[in-house]
């Protein structure tokens, strides 16, 4: 039975990953979730697993060496999977400093502490692996053609992507310098259950359900490559189990969509899924779409080449965009309380300031 230290496990992808692991390994995993519970961390995401004896939650910051060290002293960790991050581009444009702290310094603290407990003399203990969960945004922006491969030069544009790039480079440096057993994954845009409604898809779902305008940045034609979150989780699991140490793996859904197409799909899917007598149904229409000022430094197009992870590790995405969108929207319809709890909190202040 493997012992995982998962950081940022109370956020969107981390909480999906924890649930994925318990399911896939039939609860035969031991998981420590270290999360500082920022505005994006939500223990409601983990209600299903919180009752398990082999799940432990530690409230703490990855920048806090004492907290990280206390975990290594207490448990024999096999895998570290670092999800903890400030993750929203628009917030990074407003205030980059916390992004540098968590996404760069936090990664260094994690690497350093992990190294201290995994090394025996000059040799790392066999079977250990440190996974840095990163993003395609480190590669910058594409023109109308081409794909990001693992060798595409790093060219981040936002404070968020620059800070993730800094974290990735530290991880690479710990491999190059100490031969620490690390792997880096770079994934495209995720969507699925438990996603915080500051991100495009859940924001649009929420605004449609509450009859609010849908803010589309610029001309609405920026392109993202969408991947359903459980497909990301299966890729991360494979990389931890079989990924080659020191390697980078791109993960993508081969699902390029313009933002306007995404919004139209949400509108039509909501209209299909809502019962005919639901009063919200009549209010949902393309008329809600409102073009607003563009995001500063807005990357035009992301598209991932995931040939390497397919060829080397046998990973393929399984959920198409229409199917994934229907699953996601149904989850938000079935979990109104989860969404209401969030939008009535800090999010309301954020939304007023931003839109």
- What is the signed CA dihedral for 132, 136, 139, 145, rounded to 10 degrees? 150
The stretch near ligand NAD (CB under 6 A) out of 116-124, 186-194, 205-213, 325-333 is 186-194
Among ligand NAD, ligand TDX, none, the one that 328 touches (CB under a kind-dependent 5 to 8 A) is: none
C-alpha to C-alpha distance for 83 and 11, rounded to whole angstroms: 8
Q: Is 11 in the site for ligand NAD (CB under 6 A)?
A: yes
Q: Which of 253, 223, 255 is nearest to 235 (CA)?
A: 253
What the block records as the tokens of 123 is 């040799």
- Specify the pairing of strand 214-217 against strand 55-59: unpaired
Q: Which of 35, 137, 168, 237 is catalytic?
A: 137
Give the x-and-dash track for 143-182 against ligand NAD (CB under 6 A).
---------------------x------------------
Q: Which of 55, 160, 302, 347 is catalytic?
A: 160
C-alpha to C-alpha distance for 158 and 90, rounded to whole angstroms: 9
* Smaller CB separation from ligand NAD, 79 or 124: 79
The DSSP H or E segment spanning 266 is helix 259-273
Q: Which of 152, 38, 33, 30 is nearest to 103 (CA)?
A: 38
Q: Is 200 in the site for ligand NAD (CB under 6 A)?
A: no
Q: Is 87 in the site for ligand NAD (CB under 6 A)?
A: yes
Q: Which residues contact 163 (CB under 8 A, 6 or more apart)?
A: 86, 92, 96, 99, 100, 102, 103, 104
C-alpha to C-alpha distance for 33 and 82, rounded to whole angstroms: 10
Closest separation between CB of residue 225 and ligand NAD, Å? 10
Closest separation between CB of residue 38 and ligand NAD, Å? 4
CA atoms within 13 A on the CB side of 147: 18
Burial state string for 139-162 with b = 16 or more CB within 10 A and e = fewer than 16: bbbbeeeebbebebeeebebbbbb
Closest separation between CB of residue 313 and ligand TDX, Å? 21
Active site residue 112: no
Q: Which residues contact 55 (CB under 8 A, 6 or more apart)?
A: 18, 22, 31, 33, 46, 49
In this chain, which of 6, 49, 63, 270 binds ligand NAD, going by CB under 6 A?
63
C-alpha to C-alpha distance for 297 and 159, rounded to whole angstroms: 10
* Smaller CB separation from ligand TDX, 78 or 198: 198
Q: Is 223 in the site for ligand NAD (CB under 6 A)?
A: no
What the block records as the tokens of 41 is 């961390």
The stretch near ligand NAD (CB under 6 A) out of 29-37, 68-76, 203-211, 275-283 is 29-37
Q: Is 106 in the site for ligand NAD (CB under 6 A)?
A: yes
Active site residue 147: no
Q: Is 85 in the site for ligand NAD (CB under 6 A)?
A: yes
The stretch near ligand NAD (CB under 6 A) out of 80-88, 123-131, 213-221, 316-324 is 80-88
* Smaller CB separation from ligand TDX, 128 or 199: 199
Among ligand NAD, ligand TDX, none, the one that 243 touches (CB under a kind-dependent 5 to 8 A) is: none
Site residues, ligand TDX (CB under 6 A): 87-89, 135, 137, 189, 199-200, 203, 215-217, 222, 224, 259, 295
Three-state secondary structure call for residue 53? coil
The stretch near ligand NAD (CB under 6 A) out of 7-15, 261-269, 286-294, 317-325 is 7-15
Active site residue 160: yes
Three-state secondary structure call for residue 155? coil
**Which residues are the active-site residues?**
136-137, 160
């Amino acid at each position: 039975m493997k012992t995982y230290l998962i950081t940022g496990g109370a956020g969107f992808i981390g909480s999906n990953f924890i649930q994925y692991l318990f399911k896939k390994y039939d609860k035969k995993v031991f998981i420590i979730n270290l999360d500082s519970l920022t505005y994006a961390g939500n223990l409601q995401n983990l209600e299903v697993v919180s009752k398990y004896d082999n799940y432990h939650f530690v409230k703490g910051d990855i920048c806090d060496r004492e907290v990280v060290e206390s975990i290594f002293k207490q448990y024999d960790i096999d895998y570290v999977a670092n999800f903890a991050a400030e993750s929203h581009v628009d917030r990074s444009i407003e205030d980059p400093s916390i992004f540098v702290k968590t996404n760069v310094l936090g990664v260094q603290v994690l690497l350093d502490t992990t190294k201290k407990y995994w090394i025996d003399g000059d040799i790392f203990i066999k079977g250990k692996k440190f996974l840095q969960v990163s993003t395609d945004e480190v590669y910058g922006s594409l023109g109308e053609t081409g794909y990001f491969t693992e060798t595409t030069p790093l060219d981040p544009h936002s404070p968020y992507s620059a800070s993730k790039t800094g974290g990735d480079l530290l991880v690479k440096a710990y491999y190059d310098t100490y031969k620490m057993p690390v792997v880096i994954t770079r994934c495209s845009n995720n969507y699925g259950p438990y996603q915080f409604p500051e991100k495009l898809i859940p924001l649009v779902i929420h605004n449609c359900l509450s009859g609010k305008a849908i803010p589309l940045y610029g001309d609405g034609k920026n392109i993202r490559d969408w991947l359903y979150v459980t497909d990301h989780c299966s890729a991360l699991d494979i990389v931890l189990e079989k990924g080659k140490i020191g390697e980078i793996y791109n993960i993508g859904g081969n699902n390029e969509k313009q933002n306007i197409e995404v919004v139209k799909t949400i509108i039509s899917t909501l209209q299909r899924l809502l019962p005919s007598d639901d009063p919200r149904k009549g209010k949902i229409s393309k008329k809600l779409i409102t073009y607003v000022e563009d995001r500063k430094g807005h990357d035009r197009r992301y598209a991932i080449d995931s040939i390497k992870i397919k060829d080397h590790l046998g990973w393929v995405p399984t959920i198409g965009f229409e199917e994934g969108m229907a699953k996601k929207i149904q989850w938000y319809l079935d979990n109104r309380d989860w969404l209401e709890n969030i939008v009535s909190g800090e999010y309301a202040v954020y939304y007023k300031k931003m839109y």
